[in-house]
Copies of this chain bind each other. A is one copy, B any other.
Amino acid sequence: MISHKIVPNISVDCVIFGFDFEKLNVLLVERELKDEKSGEILIKDHTLAGYHIFEDEDLDSAAARILKGLTGLDNIFLEQFGAFGQLDRVSSPKDKMWLDYIKKGFADRIITVGYLALIDNTKVTLTLKDRNVAWFPVATVKDMEMAFDHKYLFYTALEALQRKVKVEPIAFQLLPDYFTISQLQKVYEAVLGTSFDKRNFRKKVAQMHYVIPLRKKQQGVPHKPAQYYLFSREVYEKTRKARISFII
Using CB atoms and an 8 Å cutoff, list the residues of chain A in contact with chain B.
7, 9-10, 53, 55-59, 80, 82-87, 109, 111, 113, 163, 166-167, 188, 196, 200-201, 204, 207-209, 243-248
Contacts and interface: CB of A to CB of B under 8 A. Distances in A.
Contact of A9 (B9, B59, B207, B209): B9
Given A7-B9, A109-B55, A163-B167, A200 B83 contact: no
**Max chain B CB contacts within 10 Å: which of A82, A86, A247?**
A247
> Could you say how many copies of this chain the assembly holds?
2
B58 A244 contact: no
Contact of A53 (B55, B85, B163, B247): B85
18 contacts: A7-B9, A7-B109, A9-B9, A53-B85, A57-B87, A58-B86, A59-B83, A59-B85, A166-B167, A166-B246, A166-B247, A167-B167, A167-B247, A196-B244, A204-B244, A208-B246, A245-B247, A245-B248
Nearest to A87: B58
Contact of A245 (B7, B85, B166): B166
Contacts of A111: 10, 59, 111, 113
Given A59-B85, A167-B247, 20 more contacts: A7-B109, A9-B9, A10-B85, A10-B111, A53-B85, A57-B87, A58-B85, A59-B83, A59-B84, A85-B113, A163-B167, A166-B167, A166-B246, A167-B246, A188-B244, A188-B246, A196-B244, A208-B248, A245-B248, A247-B247
A113 B109 CA distance: 16
A248 B85 CA distance: 36
B83 A83 contact: yes
Nearest to A194: B241
A212 to B, nearest CB: 14
A122 B207 CA distance: 40
B57 A248 contact: no
A5 to B, nearest CB: 11
Nearest to A203: B244
A34 B7 CA distance: 34
Contact of A80 (B7, B83, B200): B83
Contacts of A109: 7, 55
Choose among A10, A196, A246 the residue with the greatest number of B CB atoms under 10 Å from its CB.
A246
Contacts of A85: 10, 53, 58-59, 113
A72 to B, nearest CB: 25
